[in-house]
Amino acid sequence: MSNQHLSPLRVPLVSESRTLGQLTEEICAPMERAPTWKWWAAFAIAVSVLGTGAGIVAYQVGTGIGVWGLNKTIGWAFDITNFVFWVGIGHAGTLISAILFLFRQKWRTSINRAAEAMTLFAVMCAALFPVIHMGRPWLAFWVLPYPNTRGSLWVNFRSPLLWDVFAISTYFTVSAVFWYVGLIPDLATVRDRLKAGVKKAVFKVLSLGWTGSHRTWSRYETVYLLLAGLATPLVLSVHTIVSMDFATSVIPGWHTTIFPPYFVAGAVFSGFAMVLTLMIITRVVLGYEHLITIRHLENMTKVIIVTGGLVSLAYATEFFIAWYSGNPYERFAFMNRAFGPYAWAYWIMVTCNVVSPHLFWFKRIRTSPAAIFALSLVINVGMWFERFVIIVTSLHRDFLPSSWSMYTPTMVEVGTFIGTFGLFFTLFLLFVRVLPIISIGEVKSVLGFARSEPGHGDAHPPARPAAAHEAPTEDASGRHTPPLAIATRKDVPV
């Protein structure tokens, strides 16, 4: 494959020439070789942060959530902020896997596996905060509508908080099934590479008897397509329902119909930023620059430009509607956000989410991994502050000035939030060691994209198109030979 010709119009999705066997070796290498000291160092840091967070959670469960900085006015703050933040982070995985798959975007093949795993880990982190906020996490199963002996104590189906339970659990289940189904061909590849032992037996069970036959691939692609169609509405519905936690209330700053599309755009915005953060690190540490190319990074920055523009439009629309409505409470809520005690948080949000994404309009920036990495971190910070601003600034000054209050997070709340990053990166690092981080089968399917073998089309001069009046000729054997077909676009190597 060393003499391949590149298309002058398209950029290959695998930037270096590789055989199918070489691709398999490179993607399976992190699983089969001993972990490096860099991996051990990162894993030790992640586990340490996770352990610290677990200790803090145990302390607040044993003591009570009075150790948080909440008060009578501000009953929601850091916990719900972090919940919405992590749910948003998990949106990019399903969008990359399902929606881009349905639109036949081939560039997703190198990043979809890691993005799907990121979705599952982010939802796990998000689920911790409502459970902790219950105060008695061992009774968390009470939110499930199952037959019980508690009499009239029953879940409120009209509450958006119960809708969250159904939305998040459904999203996690479908995403996990979608991720696992996509793994099956690669699990079989790993199974066939292993020697007899416990590990081979485990992969043999997980691969579900995959044979790689034409019938197996046909049924697999059908199931994958159906799951993609099933997962696509969840990308829109989950954060829509999360937004209804606020939109169905009567609190100024929350009671607005723009929240569902606003939250969905923000979720995709922050999710792609986190995918960029992880993929840039992964491509350098594992040496996957030829698999996760600059084109992949550039395409994701273009998605960020679009969703960042939608988020900016939502910010402007909120202020316009607050003024246009003539409601003094709505006007005060938004003026308080921009110029009140928490104005510093609001302007950090605006700077990170409105100003910084426009730097990606410059090709030099959106093709520089260092610049993309820095801006992805900035966007993640900005999206966390967006949730903080929406929740805290709308609550701390409500209808009665006598109940106005301020909120300051305690070290317990900060430690819990940092601990979820420890959980997230611990799971991601284990995923890199245990499973293929890139879809082997899907990357092989795009290996020839924008490449042509020498001798296939361009090594020979194109045939002379037949004139319309030419009749079939007769060869030496007496058989009629049809006129030469006119070359079509498919005959041109790309």
pLDDT tens profile 426-480: 999 999 999 999 888 888 888 877 666 544 434 444 444 444 444 444 444 444 4
Contact predicate 396/342, CB 8 Å: yes
Tell me the average pLDDT across 390-394.
92
pLDDT over threshold 70, residue 406: yes
Range among 135-144, 391-400, 414-423 rated most confident: 414-423
Residue 453's pLDDT is 55
Tell me the average pLDDT across 229-248.
87
Give me the torsion for CA of 434, 238, 312, 299, rounded to 10°.
40
Tell me the average pLDDT across 35-51.
91
Tokens, residue 45: 């840091």
**What CA–CA distance (Å, rounded) separates 83 from 85?**
5
Tell me the average pLDDT across 77-101.
87
Residue 11's pLDDT is 78
Residue 362's pLDDT is 94
**What CA–CA distance (Å, rounded) separates 389 from 406?**
13
Residue 267 CB neighbours (<10 A): 28
Residue 8's pLDDT is 66
Tell me the average pLDDT across 293-320.
92
**What CA–CA distance (Å, rounded) separates 112 from 414?**
31
pLDDT bucket at 2, cuts 50 / 70 / 90: very low
Q: Give the residue with greater pLDDT, 98 vs 414.
A: 414
Residue 450's pLDDT is 63
Domains and CATH numbers, the chain: 35-146+154-446 (1.20.1630.10)
pLDDT over threshold 60, residue 489: no
Residue 151's pLDDT is 74
Residue 21's pLDDT is 86
Q: Give the residue with greater pLDDT, 87 vs 466.
A: 87
Residue 5's pLDDT is 56
pLDDT over threshold 60, residue 61: yes
pLDDT over threshold 90, residue 359: yes
Residue 298's pLDDT is 92
Average pLDDT, the chain: 85
For the ranges 210-214, 261-265, 473-477, 487-491, the lowest mean pLDDT is seen at 487-491
Percent of the chain with pLDDT over 70: 89
Contact predicate 353/386, CB 8 Å: yes
Beta bridge partners of 5: 452
pLDDT over threshold 70, residue 491: no
| pTM of the full structure | 0.85
pLDDT bucket at 90, cuts 50 / 70 / 90: confident
Percent of the chain with pLDDT over 90: 45
Residue 61 carries which side chain, given as an amino acid letter? V
CA angle 223, 288, 97 (to 5 degrees): 25
Q: Distance from CA of residue 186 to its chain's centroid?
A: 21
